[in-house]
Structure formats: C-alpha cells, structure tokens
Structure 1
Amino acid sequence: MTVHPSLQTYADAWTHSVEAISELVKPLVEGEWNGRTPCPGWSVRDIVSHVIGMECEQLGDPRPIHSLPRDLYHVQNDHQRYMEMQVDVRRHHTAPEMTSELEYTLIRRMRQLRNETRSPETMVRAPLRAEQTLELALHMRAFDVWVHEQDLRTALGQPGNLDSPGALITRDTLLEALPKVVAKDAGAPPNTAVVIDVQGPVEFLRTVRVDGEGNGSVDGSPSLGPAVTLAMDWETYYRLACGRVRAQAVEDRVKAEGDQELAGAILRNFAVTP
C-alpha cells in the first residue's frame, strides 16, 4: 500500500527535500557541522538534529530525557524549548554519528510512508503534546524540511531547489498566513488592498484584501488601487516570511510602492514561522 492520494504530494515533496539534505551533509568533515545557518541559533548539526528528531516523533519514538542549558539566547518560549530538546541532545555527536542516524531515520520514515494506510483525518502526534491530522502533519513536515534544506544550502554555499515540490508547498503555506500579517499584525485599515508581486523560480501575484470589519483574505485577482504594492524575488520572500532575514537587510531587494508607513509595518511583521 502507498499513502492516501491526498497525501502523496506532501510525501513526494518531503522525500525530495530530505534526500537533498542527506546528500548535502554526507560529505561534510567534522568542522563543517558547526557552521552557522540562517536559522537563528542553529548550526548545520542543529538543523540535521532537528530533522532527525521531528521524524523520530512522527515514527512514535519517545522524546529524549534531557535538560536544556539556561544560556540558549534563541530559546524564549515553550515551542522553542520543545524543538530545542531534540537538537541540544545531539550537539556533541560526531559527523559519522549524525549521518548514520539521519540515514537510519529516513529509511524507517520512508518505509512508514510506503506502508501508510491511515486516512488523512487520522489524529497523530504534534508538538507540545498536542494532536493534528495526519494530512496536516505531513504537510508541515514537507514545509519544514524544504525550509531547512535551504538553510543548509545557504550555510554550505550550495544553492538549488528553489523551485522544487517543497518550494510550492512552502509558497502555499506562507500565503495562508499573509492575511493575518497584513490585517492584524500590520494593522492595515479596513477596505484596503495590498498586492504582493513575487518573481523568480516561483512566481505569483496575490492581493490581500481587508474588509470593513478588518478581516483579511487573499486571492489571485489584481487590485486596481492597492494601498501598498510589495515586489520582491522568491528567495527574499521566503527568507523574510520564515524569519531568516530582517527587512532592513534586504531593503535593496524589495520595492515598496504606495503607503510607505503601512509597507514598513507589513515588512516588520512578515515573519510567520515560530
């Protein structure tokens, strides 16, 4: 048996990205595992540890019993503490230990997906002792591993896969959060529209509309008189939305037209990942 048809897109995207991660880190020597990545506070080793840990949790493995150090500046809330546990417990693992555990975990996880017979609505394990549907779990794993693949590519100077299956899932995932960014976080006035124009390997144009009650929605129709138009390339968009870079650092790659105060508020609140 294979995964349910509605899950296949996520399974394929996840597989594409985790195999790319495995190939990226396989030839690394010991010192390269400590290299900084765009993911705040995490090294190459930390990102691979996170991927291993999250896939182990999807397999049903118990979480490690481990006490976090108190001096981790990037750990500031319960969600970050939860994620850090799988990372910190592996911080002293050697390169061979990391690559062998990654390979073994991916073999187990791919076998699990090949043999998956549960329905997409089945409730499964989620972070912080919560539950989520199997479909959402696999969706979020496909999104997460693509973003972390890009973290590793940036850290290792090996760009690529900006238009892979995981990139398209990432686009859709980030666009779902855009109405809240514009309407709630940035405080766009009622009855206004904001256009996002993205070029590059993944191209799209979306309009966020704020209704009379201040609620946001997003669609693919152009607006004739938007309050703000933000134009940027795909890499800049995902890096901003995933909190990999601040707006000030990429202001030369973002063209903002219209209400500059609102544009600035949107860009300051653009990051939507925890």
Structure 2
Amino acid sequence: MTVHPSLQSSIDAWTHSIEAIAELVTPLVEGEWNRATDLPGWSVRDIISHVIGLECEMLGDPRPIHTLPRDLYHVRTESARRMEVQVDVRRHHTAPEMLSELEYTVIRRSRQLRNESRRPDAVVRSPLDEDRTLEFVLQQRAFDVWVHEQDLRRALGKPGNLDSPGAHVTRDLLMKVLPGVVAERAQAPADSVVVFDVSGPVEFMRTVRVDAEGKGTINGSVSLGPTVTLALDWETFMRLACGRCRLAAVADQVKIEGDRELAGRILDNFAVTP
C-alpha cells in the first residue's frame, strides 16, 4: 500500500460518493439527464460532465480546446468560464456516452489513487488552477463530489447519504472557513461570539470568537450568552454554505437568537463555494 494514511479518509470519501453518483445516474433515461438542478444553468448531465472533467484534469489529461457560446447567462467570472468548458463540451453527449465516460474516468482515477505515493504536503495543481498540497486537493475533491451527489439527489428526488464519509469531509472543510465568514465577510465587531448549533445526520456545535483585533477563531467550547446563535439542520447548513439556496428559501428552518442584524450579515455572506 503506497497511500499515506492521512490521505486515505479523503480517498475513501471520494470513492463512496463517486460510486453513489454512478448508481444514481445509471438507470436514467435520456430525458432525465436534462433535469434542472439547484445550480443555475446546469442540468444533471452538466454536473456529471463537471465531475468527469475535473477528475480528468486530476489525471493530467489536457483540457479541451473549446470556445464557449456567448449566451451562457450563468457564466459571469473567469473561474466560472474555466469550469464551464468541461461542461459545455459534453452538452450534446448522449446518456450512453456520458455513462461510458464516467465509468472509464472512475476506473482510471481509482487506479491512480490506489497507487498514490506522494507525500500529503506535495504541491500539486488543483482543478481550480491553484498550487495546493495534495492533502488539501484530495479533501477538495471529496468535498466536491459529495456536494454534487447531493445536488443530483435533490434534482432526482432520491435523498440519502447525508451522513456519509463525504459529508464529514465537507463538515471539516466548512468549519475551517467559518471564522472568515463571521469576522471578515460579515464584519462582526470585536469580542463577538457566534454559535452554530447544527442538528441532524451530522450534528455539531461550534463557537466562532472575534478577538480585539477582529480575527476569528473556532472551537467546540460552549459559550454562555453568545452574541448570536444560529440553529439549523445539517442539510440546510450545507445548502447555505455551498450556495445552493438563499436564506429566504429556508428562513423557516433557521432559528436566530441574539443580534439579528449580525445574524443577517453572516447568513448573507455564508456561501463559500465558487
């Protein structure tokens, strides 16, 4: 076995989610591949194209040479344009073509991951065109495929796997950015204390504290008399943090105690995915 132990949990989470995605789309008829998802402009087919494309980039395959149409209203940034190329180049592929490429890509990628011999701190180029450590990129891939698995489940009406290994990788990555959301994006004042009380299949309570210099930190300690407490279920937390919905759509599922103005700023700046 060549995989470093600290990489194995991300690889296992990725494997679990990618196999779940294949299981979800294999029985679909042609028309179901066009079903809309929560992602603006993206269908079920488009999400599968995105997943295939990024895994191909992780394999070192060259990016497609492809000119995007000018009328893609949902493509507004250079990052979005980069992501869209792998999607648009497959928009006219049939269901059998999509399934065949997905299966082949998963086989190749699984083999690559089984034979991974680099150290966790090795610097690699991520699909987002950034130089990051291998450990972080594998966490990012596990996060991405789990979130897209959930996108597909909502679009197809097949809920599940909210507590799978990918869900726990996603929780851990989202925890790391919460201090920035509270202290920098929401501009919480010095000495603010914000508690996130999340229930459901993945349950946790975390406290973000903003110090006198405006820097945020997070831990699992209980705080008495916090400035704000946000109580919500795991799926709602994930959907908000991943930009799958706005607060107005799930307001009845979020309980706010304390400074409602600060709570509003936090929730308005909660989406952390590109």
Q: TM-score surpassing 0.5?
A: yes
Match of 1:47 in 2: 47
Q: Which amino acid letter does the alignment assign opposite residue 218 of structure 1? A: I
Q: How many residues are paired up?
A: 274
CA displacement at 1:125 relative to structure 2: 2.0
Match of 2:156 in 1: 156
CA displacement at 1:39 relative to structure 2: 2.1
- The alignment's TM-score, normalised by the length of structure 1, stands at 0.98
Point out the more displaced range, 229-238 or 72-81: 72-81
Match of 2:174 in 1: 174
- Cα distance in 2 for partners of 1:48, 1:24 equals 11
- Cα distance in 2 for partners of 1:264, 1:222 equals 22
Match of 2:130 in 1: 130
Match of 2:218 in 1: 218
Asked whether the 8 Å contact 1:44–1:152 carries over to 2, the reply is yes
Match of 1:60 in 2: 60
Deviations 1:105-161 (A, max 9, x none): 000000111111111122222235432221111110000000000000000000000
SS at match of 2:195: strand
SS at match of 2:245: coil
Q: Which amino acid letter does the alignment assign opposite residue 70 of structure 1? A: R
Structure-to-structure mapping, 1:199-214, within 5 angstroms: 199-214=199-214
SS at match of 1:257: strand
Deviations 1:59-106 (A, max 9, x none): 000000000111112211111111111001000000000000000000
- Cα distance in 2 for partners of 1:12, 1:117 equals 16
Match of 1:250 in 2: 250
In structure 1, runs of 5+ residues without a counterpart are none
Asked whether the 8 Å contact 2:39–2:244 carries over to 1, the reply is yes
Point out the more displaced range, 175-184 or 89-98: 175-184
1:12 partnered with 2:15? no
Asked whether the 8 Å contact 2:58–2:127 carries over to 1, the reply is no
- Cα distance in 2 for partners of 1:156, 1:127 equals 27
State the identity %: 72
SS at match of 1:153: helix
- Cα distance in 2 for partners of 1:166, 1:261 equals 33
Q: Which amino acid letter does the alignment assign opposite residue 259 of structure 1? A: D
SS at match of 2:112: helix
1:186 partnered with 2:177? no
**Compared CA separation, residues 77 and 199, structure 1 to 2 (3 A):** same
SS at match of 1:231: strand
- Cα distance in 2 for partners of 1:200, 1:268 equals 23
Match of 1:94 in 2: 94
CA RMSD of aligned residues (A): 0.9
Deviations 1:197-232 (A, max 9, x none): 000000000001000011111110111111110000
Q: Which amino acid letter does the alignment assign opposite residue 242 of structure 1? A: C
- The alignment's TM-score, normalised by the length of structure 2, stands at 0.98
In structure 2, runs of 5+ residues without a counterpart are none
Asked whether the 8 Å contact 1:182–1:208 carries over to 2, the reply is yes
Match of 2:104 in 1: 104
Match of 1:228 in 2: 228
Asked whether the 8 Å contact 2:197–2:229 carries over to 1, the reply is yes
SS at match of 2:202: coil
